[in-house]
Chains A and B, each alone.
Chain A
């Protein structure tokens, strides 16, 4: 019997009940949300369960939603069951004031650098990470560049003529 999204959803709800919510299937990929304290338990369950066997971490990234108060930073995990060829995505939300999420490096070694990258870009503090420091940006950088409030361009440039780029003397416009 092939592993369908229904089966996965049933098993997850049987184990965790109401704590997992927001089940949807955008473009065929089962997506759900979990509270941030449970992220390791959910991943461990998905890893160990004989039928689910999601033993490959495809991707780990974060998204910043500045409008959702209390739930600004979302850490998104994409898992893949290579044997039955099924993918699944789950998200944990964390407020930007206290962005602590448990690290997945005990379970998946590939999460090591992916979490460092997420920390570098968004400032998500992964509790228990062996070496949480910046990976892609310069070590001295003080802010987290991918958050929505920070601009793309280098603010220390003096040679750019703002008028030519459609920006007024007040700085960046949209």
Chain B
């Protein structure tokens, strides 16, 4: 990527004009729909203009019409590569508004699921960076382990991708033995796979030459642009919501925050890989802690908040009070205190925030999602200034832009 390889023409010899290239909304399958209009001078990018909104689904307006439980299905579809994190972030926001405190076992189970979804999100991002630089094998290889993660979700909530997992106060059912067996299987087999995946890319000369120096950003500019998550950590700032404002008992776990230096694509790739190792560490710890609960404590899977937690199905079908409570909660007829709360969790892409204003009615008065992808995509034109066309694609995929989260 050296400048000397360009043909040097004498100044003013030919008239220089730029080509406009539309890197349009229909991307090759993996990325999602956003448009970049690039001005190219030969193969160098002079400027880039982004257009988003091709999948705007009006989540915030929809949320004003739905009681709290029905909004969980909307949050699934924000960052759909790691939907349990969004679901649990929403439930944590509701718990803060309603003043519900979850028991430790629930927190640890939530942590296992959230870290599994973080791994699945980073796997998509890193393998897609590989695909964009020409290496399809990594993608196929790690998709097998995403299938295992999907099987774990299925055991917990029944669905693979848009999970709608959990309730305000915990989970809808206890983790059964099959779920624990699958988690153990994951913990046993996945480290080997991640090691092979790293071996394929990390010291691979072609990959390094493609990604080192592509789309760097300094820490000050990243902070000014509102970056959070792995992209910010690759630029050198160790801000992680799990450590700064711990939620769901993250303070009981010890893990490192990997930090990069230049903030280019290579650093982002490495940071995500390291975060997957740290997530594995957290899952191992959390799994061990969950196994330590014995007897009656091992049956706890939700908080004691009958006003907000849907009663168990077997009670709903047999007892009258449970049926009435179920009806009232689902229809939103229970007391929601008025107030405004801003709560954030560490999503796959950074700080996913929920700003909820409730006026005491059935549905929120205003719900705003602080979506990390939307905020950091603005920096794309600065990241690709002067870069080559192929770098534009690599930068876009290494930023992990998920269209659902961008447009909401």
Contacts and interface: CB of A to CB of B under 8 A. Distances in A.
Consider the complex of A and B and state whether they touch directly, i.e. have CB atoms less than 8 Å apart: yes
Contacts of B97: 27
Contacts of B377: 113
Interface stretch (B37-45, B113-121, B292-300, B337-345): B337-345
Contacts of A101: none
A158 to B, nearest CB: 20
Given A63-B366, A135-B53, A152 B62 contact: yes
Given A27-B96, A85-B245, A137-B56, A59 B353 contact: yes
Interface string B342-354: 1010000001010
Contact of B368 (A61, A108, A110, A113): A61
A113 B34 CA distance: 14
B1 interface: no
A110 B226 contact: yes
Contacts of A31: 340
B27 interface: no
A63 B357 contact: yes
A152 B61 contact: yes
B407 interface: yes
| Interface residues of chain B: helix, strand, loop or mixed (majority) | mixed
A66 to B, nearest CB: 11
A136 B56 contact: yes
A146 B65 CA distance: 12
Interface string A77-95: 0100010010101000000
Nearest to B61: A152
A112 B239 contact: no
B75 to A, nearest CB: 16
Nearest to B353: A59
Interface in B236-284: 237, 239, 244-245
B53 A109 contact: no
B21 interface: no
Nearest to B239: A82
Nearest to A91: B340
B60 A146 contact: yes
Determine the interface band of chain B, counting residues with CB < 8 A from chain A: 35 or more
A27 B341 contact: yes
Interface string B210-252: 0000000000010111100000000001010000110000000
Contacts of A110: 224-226, 375-376, 378
B374 A113 contact: yes
A1 B64 CA distance: 41
Contacts of A26: 339-341
A26 B59 CA distance: 25
A59 B356 CA distance: 13
B61 A145 contact: yes
Interface string B47-71: 0000011001010111011000000
A146 B61 contact: yes
Nearest to A87: B342
Contacts of A5: none
Given A87-B342, A152-B65, A109 B379 contact: yes
Contacts of B340: 26-27, 31
B370 interface: yes
B145 interface: no
Nearest to A135: B53
Interface in A16-54: 26-27, 29, 31
A103 interface: no
B175 interface: no
A77 to B, nearest CB: 11
A138 B379 CA distance: 22
B331 to A, nearest CB: 13
B355 interface: yes
Given A58-B351, A59-B370, A76-B355, A112 B58 contact: no
A119 interface: no
14 contacts: A29-B341, A58-B342, A58-B370, A63-B366, A78-B353, A82-B244, A89-B342, A108-B224, A109-B226, A110-B226, A110-B376, A114-B375, A136-B408, A146-B61
Given A136-B52, A136-B408, A145-B61, 20 more contacts: A26-B339, A58-B226, A58-B342, A58-B351, A59-B368, A78-B370, A87-B342, A89-B342, A108-B226, A109-B224, A109-B226, A110-B225, A110-B375, A110-B376, A110-B378, A113-B374, A113-B377, A121-B60, A138-B53, A152-B65
User: Can you list the 3 inter-chain pairs with the closest CB atoms, starting with the nearest?
Assistant: A110-B226, A136-B53, A136-B56
